[in-house]
Amino acid sequence: MDIIVCIKQVPDTTEVKIDPVTNTLIRQGVPSIVNPFDKNALEAALQLKEQHGGKVTVLSMGPPQAKDALKECLAMGADEAVLMSDRAFGGADTLATSRTLAAGIRKLGHYDLLICGKQAIDGDTAQVGPEIAEALDIPQVTYAAKLEISGDSKVRIEREHEEGYEVVETTLPLMVTVVKSINEPRLPTVKGTMKANRKEIPMLTAADIDVDLDSIGLKGSPTQVHRIFTPKQRVQGQLIQADSPREAVAQLMNKLAEAKLI
Amino acid sequence: MQFQLSEEQKMVQKMVRDFATKEVAKGLAERDEHEVFSRELTNQMGELGLMGICFPEEYGGADGDVLSYILAIEELSKVDDGLGITLSASVSLCAWPIFAYGNDAQKKKYLLDLVEGTKLGAFGLTEPNAGTDAASQQTVAVLEGDHYVLNGSKIFITNAGEAETYIVFAMTDKSKGTKGISAFIVEKDTPGFTFGKKEHKLGINTSITMELIFQDVKVPKENMLGKEGDGFKIAMSTLDGGRIGVAAQALGIAQAALDHAVKYSKERTQFGKPIAVNQAIGFMLADMATKVDAARLLIYRAAWLKDQGQPYSKEAAMAKMYASDIAMEVTVDAVQIFGGYGYTREYPVERLMRNAKITQIYEGTNQVQRMVISGAVLK
Amino acid sequence: MAVIIKKEDCVGCGACVGVCPFGAISMENDVAVIGDGCTACGACLDDVCPANAIYREAEEKKVAMNKAEYHDVWVYLEQMDGQARSVGYELLGQGRRLADELKQKVAAVIIGDQVAELAVSAIASGADKVYLVEGPEYRHFTTDAYSIAFVDLVNTYKPTAILMGATNDGRDLAPRIAGRVGTGLCADCTDLGIDEKTGLVAWTRPAFGGNIMATIFCPEHRPQMGTVRPKVFKRPETDDARQGEVIRVSSKVRQEQIRTKFVEMLRVCGASCNLEEAEIIVSGGRGMGKPENFQLIEDLACTLNASVGASRAAVDAGWKPALHQVGQTGKTVGPKIYFACGISGAIQHLAGMSSSDIIIAVNKDPDAPIFKMADYGIVGDVMEVLPILNEEFKKVLQD
């Protein structure tokens, strides 16, 4: 089974802080990581490969330094990694990004399954996976918490839903996005790490793929960021430190009543 | 002069850091409190290849360098230095002497499992009456036919009880002093080889320390490491390498204490401002940071020398002595910065302070390190 | 559209370097340089540069489509088993507001099997028109059937904007539609408006784990699309006297076009894990100590008819299933009242619940970050406080 996993290198948003004076994002010292959900996607792919054989290729679009993220995926056990990097790809919104990645996937050739993380933690859009599937005209199942593929390529997925888990059956080829609870991504081994470091990561540029340059990058992005601002910070409310828990609760109930919340 | 880690070293460092923060940190306070050695974690370290970083691929290793291995101990020790010393004891003190002095048969039989981490190793040199004075070994080995018979005991042995493979030193010829000491590879379940009580220690409670007891233990002749009388030489060269490991443990402790202190002093507010803005705290942090960096440079240099195949005995002693001394100082300062909270088990710095002390003692006390260094300086 | 630094004006102060959310600006020879990581997001534009050396380059865009053909604001009224989700009505209220500003009409889109009666409530909630697509093939949501039906409507009736709930199915469906139509889509919005100057829909959404907000336009493509988080907006008052037009559109989906098959819904936890649509959520964290203690959380939730949430620590420890997890890697919620019990308030958690109206926190550590967010905080042991809290709420509710 040939599986392509799309990954993104993202700033670790949990390390991002807001400068209280200038009210801007402090980006310095924030490490770049593999988007956490994409690691779940890779783990799912590696497990399927262990069951069915085949090849796992990780694909990413980003600046040259995104190679570090791809190396980490190789260290975890991916067979191949490909980076799509070109100034022409820059400034892309989700639609332009998905067109670029879809063109990259077509270039890679045969695949049975495409797996993505449910969303990237920097943008949190959850759109690129479905938009790739649309561009490739393959079916999709999003928010997979369980993914089983039988020998005859029958797919059974439990997808997260407001009401519980929706069980879906389908066939390959397919695009699946996965949630965190689907698995626990493995840690890379020392040997895997060293092998990954020594492995060549091929780079695809705009010239290497079959795509209309007007449909990708900034030019091909229908959406445009008009303004970025820091949200109103919540201010600390009232802290109740009473002698006894009963007293504390009583104070809370009074305050809630005063605020007409109860 | 190159002050930057290679791509490969950085990747190993990150990989171990992820393992330490994700897996090792889980339940650490409880393991420390209840003195629990986690075999699960050492097995996992084996699976991830941490036991084999600097051994050749033919023995199951990753063919990395010593510095990568030292980075691994440092990263582990930033979270749980008890596990750091467990790794160091198995790799530096057991696997390494077999790699350096063992014959092919011994390497095949013992090294492979140690490198792959399916077995754990330990090192038995210290005796109740032979600590720094290794020459007054009372454990004896007498050749009887095709095996040696060992009698005696070893104390304060890291990984004892858990380890499957032991490097044990014993007198084969008392008349020759240090030249009469020989080294043996002893398997855990050999008849007559038992363990004394588990030590309850001030710190490094996630590592295990016990006494080794030998009563008429028959060790096959082919398990002698090197030749008869090579023991002291093997012990000393092994300890040279082990010292870089202990130094890395101390560095990890010190770095962790510094990190905690920096974070806390920015968060803790007194008189309406973070305590970090007080120069009294800021200067303490400056001293701590400088010491940690100086220790790091000494350690990385010693590891680099070993990688280059150059003599490193003096440099390893310097690194171990300095790193452990400053680990003690930095952790004491960290507790001070945390104030009353720092003295409680709610915060990690008291554990770091307790753990730092041992690094000044084992693998040769810092007084012994000064003997080694002054010996080299005065040569 | 690219962001450019005018080299000769740059004073080399470095103010822009730290501002870039993507770390794409660096200093080279005392001049700021924009690297490959730039996404033209504009974070460095607003008053960041003291020398005004950073500007956005205007670029000729090919006119993508005839925008004048597109009119009306559409709202997707998502339903499940014939029940419309509340977010659909919430968005009808917003659709109404936007359409009024644009002096256009609001239409609801309803797709399902035997769901015609929902058209009545859509009109009562503000819709002028309802596009209704019915058929057994829409009994359960499938990406293929629903996207084919929706795209057909878009191509036929050409709306200027589409609002959809940022539900699991909404976020599954919207990008397929946007991709097929070739238009922009803005995910997970928390604020909507009409830009006075351009008349464009201004979609505002959090990014970077809620650390920044971005307002996004879709200037040249139609329809302008966005998904909007449930519970951000109030459900409008209904007016049963309102009149509207129901336009039935025949289904054009062929069975073989539906490539995934709904098998069943595993309702593993009933309503108590439907956090996205909950009015009240009671969440527990590491401070609960052990799984048995979560009963106290369940008890309070039961009293308040609330859903049960959990922090990542509690889920990782196996105390609660993943469906209950609130936070960056779990669910994003916005209830009226959020109780955080024994939750210290790691940034991952805060990212998932900071848009709650009222936050009430109980934690024994007075320095816990959760208190910096909470409207009301009790410093105390959750094990002692929760039973009393439950007792008091019971009393209040009885009265």
Summarize pLDDT for A33-67 with one digit per residue, the tens. Answer: 999 999 999 999 999 999 999 999 999 999 999 99
A173 lies within 8 A of chain C by CB: no
Contact B192, B218 (CB under 8 A): yes
Tell me how far apart the alpha carbons of residues B335 and B329 are, in angstroms, rounded to a whole number. 10
State the ipTM, two decimals: 0.93
Tokens matching residue A235: 């201010």
Q: Which of C23, C259, C260 is nearest residue A27 as measured by Cβ atoms? A: C23
From the list C263, C259, C297, C262, the residue with the least C-alpha distance to C280 is C297
Q: Which helix (H) or strand (E) element contains residue B194?
A: strand B193-198
Q: Which helix (H) or strand (E) element contains residue C284?
A: strand C280-284
Contact B292, B324 (CB under 8 A): no
pLDDT of residue C63: 54
Q: Which amino acid is at C388?
A: I
Tokens matching residue B247: 């130094």
Tokens matching residue A187: 């840690």
Q: Which of A180, A221, A250 is nearest residue C329 as measured by Cβ atoms? A: A180
A252/C389 Cβ within 8 A: yes
Tell me how far apart the alpha carbons of residues A125 and A119 are, in angstroms, rounded to a whole number. 6
pLDDT of residue C59: 58
Name the residue in chain A with its Cα closest to that of C397: A262
Higher pLDDT, C29 or B227: B227
Quick: pLDDT tens for B153-212: 999 999 999 999 999 999 999 889 889 999 999 999 999 999 998 999 999 999 999 999
Tell me how far apart the alpha carbons of residues B292 and B288 are, in angstroms, rounded to a whole number. 6
A194/B12 Cβ within 8 A: yes
Contact C96, C129 (CB under 8 A): no
Q: What is the largest CA-CA distance in chain C?
A: 72
Q: Which amino acid is at C321?
A: P
CB < 8 Å to A193, chain B = 8, 11-12, 15
- DSSP string of chain A? -EEEEEE-EEE-GGG-EE-TTT--EE-TTPPEEE-HHHHHHHHHHHHHHHHH--EEEEEEES-GGGHHHHHHHHHHT-SEEEEE--GGGTT--HHHHHHHHHHHHHHH---SEEEEES--TTT----HHHHHHHHHT--EEEEEEEEEE-TTSEEEEEEEETTEEEEEEEESSEEEEE-GGG--PPPPPHHHHHHHHHS---EE-GGGS---GGGSTTTT-S-EEEEEEPPPPPPP-EEE--SSHHHHHHHHHHHHHHTT--
- Rama region for C45: left / alpha / beta (φ>0; ψ in -120 to 50; rest): alpha
pLDDT of residue C58: 65
Name the residue in chain C with its Cα closest to that of A241: C379
Sheet of A154-161: strand order equals A203-204, A80-84, A55-61, A2-7, A113-117, A174-178, A140-149, A154-161, A164-171, C260-266
Q: Which amino acid is at C127?
A: A
Whether B2 shows a pLDDT value over 90: the answer reads no
A187/B19 Cβ within 8 A: yes
A190/B53 Cβ within 8 A: yes
pLDDT of residue A1: 92
Whether B133 shows a pLDDT value over 90: the answer reads no
CB < 8 Å to C40, chain A = 90-91, 218, 225
A203 lies within 8 A of chain C by CB: no
State the pLDDT confidence band at A11, using cuts at 50, 70 and 90.
confident
Quick: pLDDT tens for B343-376: 998 899 999 999 999 999 999 999 999 999 999 9
Which subunits have 3 or more CB–CB pairs within 8 Å of chain B? Answer: A
Tell me how far apart the alpha carbons of residues C210 and A122 are, in angstroms, rounded to a whole number. 9
Three-state secondary-structure class, residue C248: strand
pLDDT of residue C270: 65
Q: Which amino acid is at B104?
A: D
pLDDT of residue C61: 53
Contact B275, B281 (CB under 8 A): yes
Higher pLDDT, B140 or A230: B140
Q: Which amino acid is at B280?
A: A
- DSSP string of C100-154? HHHT--EEEEEEESS-THHHHHHHHTT-SEEEEEE-GGGSS--HHHHHHHHHHHH
Three-state secondary-structure class, residue B85: helix
C17/A262 Cβ within 8 A: no
pLDDT of residue C143: 97
Listed in sequence order, the DSSP H helices in chain C are: 86-102, 117-124, 143-157, 168-181, 294-304, 312-316, 347-353, 370-373, 382-398
From the list C14, C167, C198, C211, the residue with the least C-alpha distance to C102 is C198
Quick: pLDDT tens for A195-234: 999 899 999 999 999 999 999 998 899 998 888 888 877 8
Any idea what DSSP says for residue C326? B
Give the pLDDT mean for A88-94. 90
pLDDT of residue C355: 84
Tell me how far apart the alpha carbons of residues A168 and A176 are, in angstroms, rounded to a whole number. 11
Tokens matching residue B99: 């790699």
Three-state secondary-structure class, residue B332: helix
Is this prediction's pTM over 0.95?
no
List the pLDDT tens digit at each of the 399 positions of chain C.
Answer: 578 888 888 988 888 887 777 778 888 888 898 887 777 777 787 778 888 888 877 655 555 578 889 999 999 999 999 999 999 999 999 999 999 999 999 999 999 999 999 999 999 999 999 999 999 999 999 999 999 999 999 999 999 999 999 999 999 999 999 999 999 999 999 999 999 999 999 999 988 878 888 999 999 999 999 999 998 999 999 999 999 999 999 998 999 999 999 999 998 776 677 898 889 999 999 999 889 999 999 999 999 999 999 999 999 888 988 889 999 888 889 899 999 999 999 888 988 898 899 999 999 988 888 998 899 999 999 999 999 999 999 998 887
Q: Which of B48, B62, B72 is nearest residue A194 as measured by Cβ atoms? A: B62
A179/C23 Cβ within 8 A: no
Q: Which of A190, A196, A198 is nearest residue B49 as measured by Cβ atoms? A: A190
pLDDT of residue C381: 93
Peptide bond connecting C223 to the previous residue in cis, omega within 30 degrees of 0: yes
From the list A61, A66, A64, A126, the residue with the least C-alpha distance to A91 is A61
Give the pLDDT mean for B305-323. 95
Higher pLDDT, C271 or B300: B300
C329/A222 Cβ within 8 A: no
Q: What is the mean pLDDT of chain B?
A: 94
From the list C22, B226, C243, the residue with the least C-alpha distance to A12 is C22
Q: What is the mean pLDDT of chain A?
A: 92
pLDDT of residue C274: 84
Distance from CA of C340 to the nearest CA of A (A): 14
Tell me how far apart the alpha carbons of residues B80 and B84 are, in angstroms, rounded to a whole number. 7
Three-state secondary-structure class, residue B134: helix
- The number of beta carbons lying within 10 Å of the beta carbon of residue B229 is 16
Contact C199, C239 (CB under 8 A): no
Quick: pLDDT tens for B80-111: 999 999 999 999 999 999 999 999 999 999 99
Tell me how far apart the alpha carbons of residues A181 and B67 are, in angstroms, rounded to a whole number. 36
- Of A160-169, B125-134, B305-314, C184-193, the least confident: B125-134
- Rama region for A137: left / alpha / beta (φ>0; ψ in -120 to 50; rest): left
C263 lies within 8 A of chain A by CB: yes
Three-state secondary-structure class, residue C342: coil
**Active site amino acids of B:** 363
Q: Which residues pair with B147 in a beta bridge?
A: B144, B220
Give the pLDDT mean for B333-337. 97
